[in-house]
Amino acid sequence: MIKVALTGGIGSGKSAAGDFFEDLGAVVVDADQLARDVIERGTDGFDELVATFGDEVLTNGILDRSKLGQVVFSDPGARKTLEAIIHPRVAEAFDEIVEDSPADSVIIYQIPILVETIEKMGQDRFDYIITVEATLENRISRLKSRGLKGYEIEARMKAQATDEQRAEIADLIFKNNGDLDSLLRQVENVYEDVLLPRARANIS
């Protein structure tokens, strides 16, 4: 088994890279999806969230992520409190997926805020780190095509690490300024030449 962190700034194309890895047979885990799952209604994460932030983050008894976002993004202290609720549960959920996966798996952990959380998670949780990069112009164009406004794009980019910070901890950088075939070739090369052999070697 080999555990790979796949990161990149918003609009860089890490989700497309993750889809390609999944098509090739990797176990792909989306950190953002885990973060949503651990605070769904009926979980202890949801109960702690409501106990901490109050009913104002709910709409008709259901978590309103827009309201929660307004609270935490305007208050760094509140954001840290939210992270303290979510991050340990996400780490536990990821560990459970790893335990349930075959011994020769290539596990791709798709995580946008790896640099920002690496101190808490520990860089040694991963055997290999890949970051996806694209020019600012390409990233903005992709995000606008998703319907994001200019001010939303700027705010989200400012909240994330820089390309330089991500590159500093990466074992490999995907350049995603061309078409999807170009990205696919990069994914195929590292999967077949590096990741799959290492996953198999670890159980031999």
Inter-helix orientation angle 114-121/76-100, to 10°: 70
Residue 119 confidence (pLDDT) = 57
pTM of the complete model: 0.86
Per-residue pLDDT of 53-92, as tens digits, reads 998 899 988 899 888 888 887 788 888 899 899 988 998 9
Helix (H, G, I), strand (E, B) or coil at 107: strand
Helices (H), 31-190: 31-37, 44-53, 65-73, 76-100, 114-121, 136-145, 150-158, 163-169, 180-190
Percentage with pLDDT > 70 across the chain: 95
DSSP 11-57: TSSHHHHHHHHHHHT-EEEEHHHHHHHTTSTTSHHHHHHHHHH-GGG
Per-residue pLDDT of 134-183, as tens digits, reads 999 999 999 999 888 888 888 888 878 888 999 999 999 999 998 999 99
